[in-house]
Amino acid sequence: MRRILLARHGQTVANAAGRFQGKLDYPLTEKGYRQAQLLSTLLTYWHPGKIFTSDLQRSRETAMPAAEALGLKLTVSPLFREYSWGLLEGLTWPEIKERYPILFSQLQKDLRGTYIPGQEQLDSFRQRLRKGLALLLAEDNPATVALIGHGRYLNALLVELLNLDFAGPWPFSFAPAAITIIECNAGKRRLVCFNDRSHLRGENDD
């Protein structure tokens, strides 16, 4: 049996301000660092033999306490980088409403289906997801691996991992520094737990 641990990064300065992040490289807040430290306690309990992260600092900063505790070097790849929101990156909803009122109205009705200038195309995003998934499921990996990533990326990755309809809803909302566990055995994939926040001790809000 193989096990994949998924966790979203801790709170960032953009999260605290309500900004779209995407590929922009925001650091963790003090709260985000506390969340990362608390996350490390649960990650070390499951003892992953490899920890993957995206190359964005919020992912690496969240993963580092667990990597240090386990004596591991992070496996960093841009394949795990967050989905790019294009024009929306760096903006809050009030700023989007003020600058792009027509686009704002469309997004309020259908966030997923609205074209956003500069956004990552879903076909290329899915190809990137599949390449990242192949890294997580590589035969030479340890029995348990972890990925510290990003909310929208992990949402879509879990849909792909569980063979759900990629064109349908992406229903998984990942809380900061929470743990989600998937087990893979004899070709079957099972969601064991989702958004375990028991380790966060009140540090689990965005």
For residues 72 and 170, membership in a common domain is answered with: yes
Could you read off the pLDDT of 66-82 as tens digits, one per residue?
A: 999 999 999 999 999 99
For residues 77 and 110, membership in a common domain is answered with: no
Could you read off the pLDDT of 87-144 as tens digits, one per residue?
A: 999 999 999 999 999 999 999 998 888 999 999 999 999 999 999 999 999 999 999 9
For residues 48 and 91, membership in a common domain is answered with: no
Query: What total number of domains does the chain contain?
Result: 2
Residue-range definition of the domain harbouring residue 111:
86-118
Could you read off the pLDDT of 144-162 as tens digits, one per residue?
A: 999 999 999 999 999 999 9
Mean pLDDT of 47-61: 97
pLDDT, averaged across the chain: 94
For residues 79 and 113, membership in a common domain is answered with: no
For residues 180 and 96, membership in a common domain is answered with: no
Residue with tokens 């294009």: 86
Could you read off the pLDDT of 57-68 as tens digits, one per residue?
A: 999 999 999 999
For residues 20 and 9, membership in a common domain is answered with: yes
Closest by CA to 9, choosing from 191, 143, 168, 153, is: 153
d(CA 72, CA 13): 27
For residues 77 and 102, membership in a common domain is answered with: no
Percentage of residues in the chain having pLDDT higher than 70:
98
* Three-state SS at 105: helix
Question: What is the pLDDT at residue 205?
Answer: 58
As given in the structure block, the two tokens for residue 206 are: 């965005």
Closest by CA to 32, choosing from 54, 60, 51, is: 60
For residues 74 and 91, membership in a common domain is answered with: no
Closest by CA to 102, choosing from 90, 82, 117, 89, is: 117
As given in the structure block, the two tokens for residue 84 are: 């790019």
Percentage of residues in the chain having pLDDT higher than 90:
86
Record the pTM: 0.93
Question: What is the pLDDT at residue 168?
Answer: 83
Question: What is the pLDDT at residue 204?
Answer: 62
Question: What is the pLDDT at residue 203?
Answer: 67
For residues 80 and 96, membership in a common domain is answered with: no
